């Protein structure tokens, strides 16, 4: 947890409205005798709500910028007003984003990939840890090198998964991970590796021009959730930028289990990769938005006292 001394309230600007205290999840802000906001000196997790809500601009937080520092996107000081047209646009963007498996060969400028990583940081994170990191592979040649290492990993895994005694061992001690891989993926991976060797067809990254690896520090409150929420924001923004994207779970798994791949990607030992996002300009545009199986949410109303005990 960060120290609250990094929150500064300018008493010449504070108008005593109390909004900062009202939004503070830790309750460390309160009006002083003069009615102006004071920090009580306790630690907080620097969520930035107080600075963001203050109508007088009286609060600053050391080390926090007021914008993301994007180079390819004009940042707005105010978001759009909530309402039906914003909902319609948002849902349309979400439905328009599909996993892209057909890319044009041109590269994605590094400055765009860097902006996407910055946009990822708009996601929520457990106790505002923001323990994520973003590794950009902007060159297709590096995706091919990375893909070669993944191919090596999956060849070895295929040999292991072909062994019934090892699958039995995995079922008894390893939660059946090897058996599940054998049943669900081994054959398609054999075919993909065959293509990779025979005609250079890239069924791992689908010919994407670049990738962003989203990792998180293991000591964060919720590393997996934080990384995947940042990933979702990157996927949606990539769609809005006219880029195609696809999560590559096979590459994430290969990184997770191969020290050699981790080393080649120069990943810090305290981080785990939770998502590999392939990116590039789409060669094909979908004519219709995503269709999904209908979902019926369960609606619950609990009987009994409002506050038991
Ligand atoms: C965690 C995760 C891992 C995925 N891994 C792969 C992958 O390795 N290769 C691939 O082509 N698609 C991968 N996908 C994409 C899914 O197949 C895709 O999201 C799903 O079919 C729904 O299609 P849509 O994304 O176009 O809506 C992955 C998706 C998720 C969420």
Q: What pLDDT score does 245 carry?
A: 98
Kindly list the protein residues whose Cβ atom lies closer than 6 A to any atom of ligand 1: 98-99, 101, 246-250, 290
Render pLDDT for 75-96 as a digit per residue (tens, 0 to 9): 998 899 999 999 999 999 999 9
Pocket test for ligand 1, best of 91, 92, 93, 99 (most atoms within 8 A of CB): 99
Beta strand 271-280 pairing with 37-39: unpaired
Residue bearing the CA closest to ligand 1, atom 21: 99
Tens-digit pLDDT string for the chain (309 aa) = 344 558 999 999 999 999 999 999 999 999 999 999 999 989 898 999 999 999 999 999 988 877 899 999 999 988 999 999 999 999 999 999 999 999 999 999 999 999 999 999 999 999 999 999 999 999 999 999 999 999 999 999 999 999 999 999 999 988 899 999 999 999 999 999 999 999 999 999 999 999 999 999 999 999 999 999 999 999 999 999 999 999 999 999 999 999 999 999 999 999 999 999 999 999 999 999 999 999 999 999 999 988 887
| Contact call for residues 77 and 43 (beta carbons, < 8 A) | no
* Alpha carbon of 193 to ligand 1 centroid (Å): 19
Buried b / exposed e across 36-74, counting CB within 10 Å, b at 16+? bbbbeeeebbbbebbbeebebebbebeeeeeeeebeeee
**Domain 94-286 maps to which CATH number in 3.40.109.10, 1.10.1370.40, 3.90.1530.10, 3.40.50.720?**
3.40.109.10
Which residue's CA lies nearest to atom 10 of ligand 1?
Answer: 248
Beta-carbon contacts of 148 under 8 Å, excluding residues fewer than 6 positions away, are none
Strand partners, 217: 271
Tokens of 126: 């457990």
* Fold match between domain 4-61 and domain 94-286: no
From 195, 224, 246, give the residue whose CB has the most ligand 1 atoms within 8 Å, as the site to mutate.
246
Tell me the β-bridge partners of 133. 215
Q: How many Å lie between the centroid of ligand 1 and the Cα of residue 116?
A: 19
Question: What would the two tokens of residue 2 be?
Answer: 């960060």
Q: For the chain, which residues make up each domain, given as ranges? A: 4-61, 94-286
Distance CA 147, CA 202 (A): 8
Domain 4-61 belongs to what architecture? 2-Layer Sandwich (3.30)
Note the pLDDT of residue 65.
77
Give me ligand 1 centre to Cα 239, in Å: 15
The string of pLDDT tens digits covering residues 4-47 is 558 999 999 999 999 999 999 999 999 999 999 999 989 898 99
Which residue's CA lies nearest to atom 29 of ligand 1? 247
Ligand 1: which residue has its CA nearest to atom 16? Answer: 99
């Amino acid at each position: 947890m960060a120290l609250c001394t990094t929150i500064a309230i300018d008493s010449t600007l504070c108008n005593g409205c109390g909004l900062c205290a009202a939004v503070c999840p830790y309750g460390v802000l309160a009006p002083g005798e003069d009615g102006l906001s004071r920090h009580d000196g306790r630690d907080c997790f620097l969520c930035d709500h107080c600075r963001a809500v203050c109508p007088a601009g009286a609060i600053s937080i050391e080390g926090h910028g007021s914008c993301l520092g994007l180079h390819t996107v004009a940042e707005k000081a105010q978001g759009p007003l909530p309402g039906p047209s914003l909902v319609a646009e948002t849902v349309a963007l979400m439905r328009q984003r599909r996993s892209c498996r057909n890319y044009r060969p041109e590269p994605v400028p590094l400055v765009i990939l860097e902006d996407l990583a910055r946009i990822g940081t708009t996601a929520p994170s457990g106790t505002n840890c923001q323990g994520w990191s973003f590794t950009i592979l902007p060159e297709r040649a590096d995706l091919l090198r990375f893909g070669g290492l993944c191919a090596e990993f999956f060849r070895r895994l295929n040999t292991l998964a072909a062994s019934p005694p090892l699958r039995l061992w995995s079922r008894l001690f390893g939660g059946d991970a090897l058996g599940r891989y054998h049943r669900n993926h081994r054959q398609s991976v054999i075919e993909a590796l065959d293509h990779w060797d025979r005609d250079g067809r890239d069924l791992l990254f689908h010919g994407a021009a670049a990738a962003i690896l989203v990792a998180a520090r293991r000591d964060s409150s919720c590393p997996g959730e934080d990384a995947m929420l940042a990933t979702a924001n990157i996927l949606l923004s990539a769609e809005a930028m006219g880029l195609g994207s696809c999560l590559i779970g096979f590459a994430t798994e290969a990184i997770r289990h191969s020290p050699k791949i981790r080393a080649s990607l120069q990943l810090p030992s305290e981080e785990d990769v939770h998502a590999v996002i392939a990116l590039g300009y789409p060669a094909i545009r979908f004519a219709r938005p995503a269709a999904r199986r209908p979902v019926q949410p369960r609606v619950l109303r609990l009987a009994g006292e409002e506050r038991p005990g």
